[in-house]
Amino acid sequence: MGQEISISERLRSLLLKDTKVVILTGAGISAESGVPTFRGEEGLWKKFRPEELATFDAFMANPQLVWEWYEYRRKIIEEIKPNPGHLALVDFQSYFEKFDLITQNVDGLHHQAGSKKIIELHGNIKRNKCIRCGEKHEDLNKALPGIPPKCPCGGNIRPDVVWFGEMLPQEAIQYAFEVSSACDLFFSIGTSAVVHPAASLPVIAKRNGAYVVEVNLSPTEISHLVDESLFGKSGEVLPFLVKLLK
């Protein structure tokens, strides 16, 4: 069993149906499902340097290596399931009348858990698109073989995710800023909060008067500004919070 979880009276008092809630999740929420995180001791990028793999320039320089890295990660994701942290957020969604779930994750596990209307800031690893004509390739049956596969137009196909230096999907990030600035209660869950613009969302929420709570194994870049840190596994802390919803 994990550590004992305790929360403030203030947070308890905010767990009401008409509280406007925004959730931001990161790789940590999927860690208990078996998805490696990016940073930290077990992070994916202990083995691979991000600038070698998660940029468009890296893909252009070594498309095979980058494609294979994503194939390796897709295989992991295919074999795993949402964990109690993802499932708790489904309960949150059905309890709170105003609720938004924003994720930096590309693994689709919130969707698989049953959450609705998920704002995916960094794309989705299961989708692909052509770097030349932009056509989306949801499945690769129509693609021509190769590593990476080719679009019928001749362009290389890449994962439909957001790499460093690339713009986030405009509608998604705009909506994320809007709801974060207008919420009462903001949770930053399982993210190191170092990658922008996602990492600005808790800051914006705080600046606009929201009560900001982080759920993480250890302190993060935003620990100094949040109202409350709940240290523990999200797969334990979030189900604990669900039990407090009336």
Any idea what the Cα angle at residue 94 is, between residues 93 and 99, rounded to 5°? 35
Angstrom distance (rounded) from CA 68 to CA 132: 20
Closer by beta carbon to ligand BJW, 122 or else 137: 122
Q: Which does 211 bind (CB under 5 to 8 A by kind): ligand BJW, Zn ion, none?
A: none
Residue 156 makes contact with ligand BJW by CB under 6 A: no
Encoded amino acid at 1, one letter: M
Binding ligand BJW (rule: CB under 6 A), the pick from 153, 194, 225, 244 is 194
CA pseudo-torsion sign 184, 204, 41, 80: positive
Burial class from Cβ neighbours inside 10 Å (0-12, 13-18, 19+) for residue 131 reads middle
Residue 155 makes contact with Zn ion by CB under 5 A: yes
Residue 153 makes contact with Zn ion by CB under 5 A: yes
Q: Minimal CB distance to ligand BJW: which residue?
A: 28
Q: Angle, nearest 10°, between helix axes 170-182 and 200-207?
A: 30
User: What stretch of H or E contains 198?
Assistant: none
Residue 202 makes contact with ligand BJW by CB under 6 A: no
Angstrom distance (rounded) from CA 182 to CA 1: 36
**Binding-site string for ligand BJW from residue 52 to residue 91, where x marks contact by CB under 6 A and - marks none:** --x-------------------------------------
Tell me if residue 86 is catalytic: no
Contacting residues toward ligand BJW, per CB under 6 A: 26-28, 31-32, 37-40, 43, 54, 104, 106, 122, 161-168, 190-192, 194-197, 215-218, 220, 233-234
